[in-house]
Structure formats: C-alpha cells, structure tokens
Amino acid sequence: MEELDYHVTFPTNFSKSREVSDVSESDVRSRSITGDMRTVPVIVLLGWYGCQDKHLAKYSSIYQSKGFITMRYTLPHDYLFSIKKSSTRDVALKLLEAFFDLGLQENPIFFHVFSNGGGYVYRHITETVNGPNPGQCAALKITGVLCDSMPSYPTATSAFRAIVTAMPQSQHWFILYVKSLGVWIFFMVLTLISYIRKGGTSDQGTYYRAMLADKMQCPQLFLYSKKDAIVPYKDIQGIIKERRHRGFDVQEVVWEDSDHVAHLRKHPEEYVAACLKFVKDCLERVD
C-alpha cells in the first residue's frame, strides 16, 4: 500500500526550525515526542468527500491556535467508491500506526469526523480499537469524538447530492450533470455488486449499522443541521438516541439553517466554542 497523504502539524515549542511544523508521512519517523508534549491533545480531522486539504486546514487551525497537535486526512474518491472495503480498513490501520511512529500513543487523542466520507475511515478505526484483536492500538488514549454532519444511511440520492456538491462549481451545469450522473450510475452498480456478493447485505447498510453499534467509550459531540440536504438529520438523531440508550455520554449542537459540513461558515463563533469546550471538558474528565 502506498504512503497516505496526511499532514501533521505540531505546536511552536515542538518545532525547532519553524513556528509550525507541517509534515507528511514520508518524514514522520524522524520526529519524536518528549517531555510535556505527551500531554498535548492530538486532533485527527477526517475530511468529507471532495474535501481539499486547504478546506480541512481551516478546521485544524481552530485547534492549532490552542497549541494542539493536528493530523489531517481525506479518503480519496476511488476508496469511497470501491467494493473492497479492506482498502479503507488498511487506511485506518495506517493512520493508527502513525500515532506510534510519531510517539503520540500516550497523548489524548480526538477524532473530528466530517460527513460519511470521514465516517467510513472512522468506522474501521473504532472497529479496530474496540475489536477482539486491537493489538497495540488498545493502548491509545482516545478521549473524544466530534461528528460533523454524520453519520447517515448512504443512499443513491445522498451520494448524487454529495457528488454534485464536490464538483467544481465553475463548470457548466450540463457538464456537472453528466459527470454527476455517470458517477451516480457507477455508485449504483457497485452497490448492486456488493449486495449480491454479500448475499443481500450492502456495504452502505453495514456502515450505518456499524455506527449504531460503535463501541467507542469516550464522549461524542454531534454537530448537525436540519437543513442538511445530504445527510438526513433524523439519521444522526437515531445514532444519538441509540448511544444514549446504551449509556454513553453524547452531546449535540443542532442548527436550523446551515448546509452540509457548512456549520463553521454559517455559525463560526458558536461552532468554534462548541468544539473547544467539548475538548476541554473531555480533558478535564481524564485528569
């Protein structure tokens, strides 16, 4: 498997050569964490479908401004439309290994997950960490999970809308329509193939059920909107209800007017305050 295109940013007092150290997987093994840096929170941001790193960097800056370590990663398009879910699992395992490569296994870790695109990766992360054979991952200090505009039961309609949203809006509407329709048909064919292969159980269906069965013990914060045209808010509320029923600490911030993964743009002050307060509260719980 080729190297993952992820970015790690360390606070000023870790980097000796630059105010902010932004490194990729190719040079992580030359870095190490020592001393008081082991108490610094690590925020892992998992991007949505079509997300560019510059977009994800706007969110990581929220945490970098507080001196936190951040890691940014977005699953490529071909993984999202692959019937080989083992490939996404491999990505999750690679990201988990990065904590040990960087010496971050003793730091408090948070996952900030965006849409189902980030959720597909998170699903395999939580199944690995909380599975029967977690290996060294059992030692990771996962302290909190933030869920932005996710999860939902993926449908052909939601996939089509997500594709249209991710397309460059500078293109002519007809070109956008043809491209989106082509990818939607491809998505439907893959879903059908997966459904037949698994004897009537699609990968899309197993994703939502896996999120319902998520065994992650730490608190979770759900950030979502009733206006979201891609992820139905009632799907998210179904997850919230199930986790609360199982006794987990679940918090939520719900808006009436923000679009899919656009809560920061629409409600910047409220969004930032909610995220930072959640992290602060989680850290106080483990102290």
What is residue 23's predicted lDDT score, i.e. its pLDDT?
A: 55
The Cα–Cα gap between 160 and 181 comes to: 7
Burial tier of 115 (Cβ tally within 10 Å: 0-12, 13-18, 19+): buried
Radius of gyration of the chain (CA): 19
Overall average pLDDT of the 1-28 stretch: 63
Chain centre to alpha carbon of residue 145 = 9
Position with higher pLDDT, 278 vs 167? 278
Encoded tokens for 218: 């730490």
Q: Is residue 84, in this structure, part of any structural domain at all? A: yes
Whether 60 has a pLDDT exceeding 80, the answer reads yes
Q: Is residue 106, in this structure, part of any structural domain at all? A: yes
The Cα–Cα gap between 272 and 58 comes to: 11
pLDDT band (50, 70, 90) for residue 77: confident
pLDDT band (50, 70, 90) for residue 154: confident
Q: Is there a contact between 10 and 16 (Cβ–Cβ < 8 Å)?
A: no
Whether 42 has a pLDDT exceeding 80, the answer reads yes
**Structural domain containing residue 255:** 7-152+215-286
Q: Which helix (H) or strand (E) holds 110?
A: strand 108-114
Burial 200-239 (b: 16+ CB within 10 A, else e): eebbbbebbebbeebebebbbbbbbbeebebbbbebbebb
What is the model's pTM? 0.83
Position with higher pLDDT, 72 vs 195? 72
Half-sphere exposure of 213 (CA within 13 A, CB side): 11
Q: Is residue 65, in this structure, part of any structural domain at all? A: yes
Whether 150 has a pLDDT exceeding 70, the answer reads yes
What is residue 62's predicted lDDT score, i.e. its pLDDT?
A: 98
Overall average pLDDT of the 103-108 stretch: 95
- Mean confidence (pLDDT) of the chain: 83
Whether 82 has a pLDDT exceeding 50, the answer reads yes
Whether 22 has a pLDDT exceeding 90, the answer reads no
What is residue 182's predicted lDDT score, i.e. its pLDDT?
A: 66
What is residue 206's predicted lDDT score, i.e. its pLDDT?
A: 85
Write the pLDDT tens digit of every residue in 156-194. Answer: 555 555 555 555 555 555 665 666 566 666 666 656 655
Q: Is there a contact between 126 and 271 (Cβ–Cβ < 8 Å)?
A: no
Write the pLDDT tens digit of every residue in 192-248. Answer: 655 565 554 445 568 899 999 999 999 999 999 999 999 999 999 999 999 999 999
Q: Is residue 183, in this structure, part of any structural domain at all? A: no
In the chain, the number of structural domains is: 1
Q: Is residue 235, in this structure, part of any structural domain at all? A: yes
The Cα–Cα gap between 53 and 73 comes to: 8
What is residue 29's predicted lDDT score, i.e. its pLDDT?
A: 43
The pairing of strands 220-225 and 141-148 is parallel
Q: Is residue 160, in this structure, part of any structural domain at all? A: no
What is residue 129's predicted lDDT score, i.e. its pLDDT?
A: 98
CATH number at residue 239: 3.40.50.1820
pLDDT band (50, 70, 90) for residue 278: very high
Share above pLDDT 70 across residues of the chain, in percent, rounded to a whole number:
70
Which amino acid is it at 196?
A: I
